[in-house]
Amino acid sequence: MPTTQREKLIEALVDPEKTWDIVVVGGGATGLGTALDAASRGYKTLLLEQADYAKGTSSRSTKLVHGGVRYLAQGDIGLVREALYERGLLIKNAAHLVKNESFVIPNYKWWTGAFYTVGLTFYDLLAGKLSFGRSKHISKKETLSRLPGVQEKNLYGGVVYHDGQFDDARLAINLAQTCLEQGATVLNYFKVTGLLKEDGKITGVIAQDVEAGTIYQIKSRAVINATGVFVDDLLQIDEPHRKPLVRPSQGIHIVVDRSFMPGEDALMIPKTDDNRVLFAVPWHGKLLIGTTDTPINAHSLEPRALEEEIGFVMRNVSKYLTRPPERKDVLSIFAGLRPLAAPQEGSGGTKEISRRHKIIVSASGLITVTGGKWTTYRRMAQDTIKTAIETAKLNPRPCITNNLPIHGNKKEVDRTDHLYVYGSDRETLLDLIKENPEWAEKLHPRMENIKAEVIWAVRQEMARTVEDVLARRLTALFLDAKAAAEMAPVVASLLAGQLNKDNDWENRQIDEFIELAKGYLTQST
Ligand SMILES: Cc1cc2nc3c(=O)[nH]c(=O)nc-3n(C[C@H](O)[C@H](O)[C@H](O)COP(=O)(O)OP(=O)(O)OC[C@H]3O[C@@H](n4cnc5c(N)ncnc54)[C@H](O)[C@@H]3O)c2cc1C
């Protein structure tokens, strides 16, 4: 593994005469995928993320690697086929993080069983050779045994289909590591604050090291704006008064104990009271339930769930469960913003806005990529780099990410051991315990995580703060916000030791994280 040390990585920026081929702004799924595509083609690539990798939308998804049954219902067959192909590549290239999950649609009307079986069989056929398994109709008895806890009254049977499930933030971290392995430089806590131009054409970016405050002028042949719901900020630096490209759509999730639906299968509710789909998916011993689709006018890195969204999710899932979760049962609530293309004047809500990605080249040559979904990040990246090659007249080189394993990729992992998410890194991580046997200790009685994971997060995964560790390396904040807050002091102390920080830093980190975690428990605004 090449160095992940911040000071060493920053050295690549010091020479003001150096010209990169491609600078990618934004370290979510889209930016990381784009940087990986560029670096693996052999271009000199730099990625800058203003906060932490996946701090934005990319850690707040439903964690599905899917074609999108809903888009099939909307008739967007091209989009579904493309996403199913990408699903097949992801389970091959990030096998440690992506798993084949069975979803059950319970049928409470006699005709829905046949209806969904036909539709989902078409979904399977679209996946072709990359199918995850055939959909089938199941009896009432089997539905109840596969979805223990689901309402029995008026149940006729169910339909099972297959899709992928993954860990979004962990995949982002592994993508950042793969970028480094492919020769890119990637830096978190580096904000792009301006654009360099000559004769109206982009020649690079101005960026600030958020930790040290230092400002850098960085030259590049191509600049890619992959900043999710923030794309308009950079577009307006480029062209003040430009009309917004993105209209954020908020989606929230609640996490409750697995005992509310203790089976291995996920529940798919095909029609909520606003005609959406809702999922309840087993996730690391918990149940992840969501999501919503609420147009929002502002964008932020820490969006908050609205009271009506929480009510909507609780009300709709409760109709299907014999023991409905109550507010006191909620372990974590989180919200994310979809970077959807803004509707044209006069059109309606966000459900109708295409989930396809968009690539826009401004008059200055700035390339903006937005929309799409996690599942299709690789394809988005391929299309974006193709555009960059044409726009910046780079020497053309072929895309190789179809067959490029992502850091940690390992076919056989033991999912009963929580360290499986580290894939091929698991053994090396455990070797840390030889350096200090204390690192074998657990961080919290309710959580499986051990101290060695914190050390690993700093040394190998570029974690800089308590939040980086507890939210996006260990996922604890999203699984159990109260436990995560209780873990903050020990994590802060381990981090301070590794990063040579003083007591003041440690205390500030604890306070800031505890404040943040409160927002994941009481998300009302
Ligand atoms: C509720 C919800 C559920 C979803 N579920 C699924 C799902 O199950 N499956 C699926 O495939 N997709 C899903 N998606 C879609 C998917 O999560 C998004 O399409 C994807 O994460 C978007 O990634 P991104 O990189 O474009 O944006 P982001 O992840 O938001 O990344 C943009 C990054 O740019 C950074 N940035 C902004 N400005 C600057 C700057 N000036 N300098 C440096 N960095 C900057 C931000 O800090 C941020 O980290 C879901 C989305 C939502 C909201």
Compute, in angstroms, the gap from residue 238 CA to the centroid of ligand 1: 21
Ligand 1 pocket mutation, candidates 23, 59, 61, 370, criterion most atoms within 8 A of CB: 61
How far is Cα 441 from Cα 109, in angstroms, rounded to an integer? 51
Residue 476: Cβ within 10 Å count: 28
Average pLDDT over every residue of 61-67: 96
pLDDT in tens, 114-128: 999 999 999 999 999
Ligand 1 pocket mutation, candidates 24, 193, 206, 230, criterion most atoms within 8 A of CB: 230
On the question of pLDDT at 345 being above 80, the answer is no
53 Cα nearest atom in ligand 1? 49
- Kindly report the average pLDDT of the chain as a whole number: 95
**What stretch of H or E contains 208?**
strand 201-209
Q: What is the pLDDT of residue 74?
A: 78
Which residues approach ligand 1 with their CB closer than 6 A? 25-31, 48-51, 54-58, 60-64, 66, 191-192, 226-230, 251, 291, 301, 336-339, 372-375
Q: Architecture of 98-165+248-338 per CATH?
A: 2-Layer Sandwich (3.30)
Looking at the chain, which residues constitute the CATH 3.50.50.60 domain(s)? 6-11+19-57+169-245+350-403
How far is Cα 359 from Cα 516, in angstroms, rounded to an integer? 34
Q: Which fold has domain 6-11+19-57+169-245+350-403?
A: FAD/NAD(P)-binding domain (3.50.50)
Q: Architecture of 418-518 per CATH?
A: Orthogonal Bundle (1.10)
DSSP code at position 473: I
Compute, in angstroms, the gap from residue 335 CA to the centroid of ligand 1: 12
26 Cα nearest atom in ligand 1? 34
Looking at the chain, which residues constitute the CATH 1.10.8.870 domain(s)? 418-518
Higher pLDDT pick, 426 / 111 = 426
On the question of pLDDT at 306 being above 60, the answer is yes
Ligand 1 pocket mutation, candidates 249, 374, 376, criterion most atoms within 8 A of CB: 374
- Which of 168, 160, 147 shows the shortest CA–CA distance to 64? 168
How far is Cα 140 from Cα 159, in angstroms, rounded to an integer? 10
Q: What is the pLDDT of residue 453?
A: 99
Q: Is the dihedral of CA 347, 352, 354, 355 positive or negative?
A: positive
On the question of pLDDT at 327 being above 70, the answer is yes
Q: What is the pLDDT of residue 340?
A: 87
Cα angle: 445, vertex 261, 275; to 5 degrees: 125
Residues paired with 287 in a beta bridge = 256, 282
Collapsing DSSP to helix, strand or coil, 99 comes out as: strand
How far is Cα 390 from Cα 59, in angstroms, rounded to an integer? 32
Q: What is the pLDDT of residue 523?
A: 54
Average pLDDT over every residue of 510-521: 97
Average pLDDT over every residue of 464-469: 99
- pLDDT-above-70 percentage for the chain: 97
pLDDT in tens, 31-46: 999 999 999 999 999 9
Average pLDDT over every residue of 219-234: 98
How far is Cα 310 from Cα 69, in angstroms, rounded to an integer? 23
Average pLDDT over every residue of 426-451: 98
How far is Cα 408 from Cα 461, in angstroms, rounded to an integer? 12
Q: What is the pLDDT of residue 71?
A: 79
Q: What is the pLDDT of residue 16?
A: 85
**Cβ partners under 8 Å of residue 337, min gap 6:** 56, 57, 60, 228, 229, 248, 249, 250, 251, 296, 299, 300, 303
Span of 97-101, 338-342, 346-350 with lowest mean pLDDT = 346-350
DSSP line for 75-117 = T-HHHHHHHHHHHHHHHHHTTTT-EEEEEEEEE-STTHHHHHH
58 Cα nearest atom in ligand 1? 21
Decide if 283 contacts 170 (C-beta within 8 A): no
**Alpha carbon 460 to chain centroid, angstroms:** 19
* pLDDT band at residue 344 under the 50/70/90 scheme: low
Decide if 103 contacts 265 (C-beta within 8 A): yes
Collapsing DSSP to helix, strand or coil, 68 comes out as: coil
pTM over 0.95: yes
Compute, in angstroms, the gap from residue 102 CA to the centroid of ligand 1: 25
Compute, in angstroms, the gap from residue 469 CA to the centroid of ligand 1: 19
Average pLDDT over every residue of 370-393: 97
**E strand intervals along 354-492:** 357-361, 367-371
Compute, in angstroms, the gap from residue 54 CA to the centroid of ligand 1: 7
Average pLDDT over every residue of 467-480: 98
Compute, in angstroms, the gap from residue 301 CA to the centroid of ligand 1: 10
Quick one: tokens of 45? 């690539």
On the question of pLDDT at 267 being above 70, the answer is yes
Compute, in angstroms, the gap from residue 11 CA to the centroid of ligand 1: 28
55 Cα nearest atom in ligand 1? 49
**Cβ partners under 8 Å of residue 460, min gap 6:** 1, 4, 177, 425
Distances (CA, A) of 330 to 58, 165, 224, 283: 22, 22, 39, 14
On the question of pLDDT at 328 being above 60, the answer is yes
* pLDDT band at residue 76 under the 50/70/90 scheme: confident
**E strand intervals along 331-380:** 332-341, 357-361, 367-371
Decide if 520 contacts 488 (C-beta within 8 A): no
Looking at the chain, which residues constitute the CATH 3.30.9.10 domain(s)? 98-165+248-338
Residues paired with 65 in a beta bridge = 164
Q: What is the pLDDT of residue 1?
A: 85
* pLDDT band at residue 525 under the 50/70/90 scheme: very low
83 Cα nearest atom in ligand 1? 11
Distances (CA, A) of 90 to 87, 396, 412: 5, 25, 15
Average pLDDT over every residue of 131-143: 96
Compute, in angstroms, the gap from residue 226 CA to the centroid of ligand 1: 9
**Alpha carbon 232 to chain centroid, angstroms:** 20
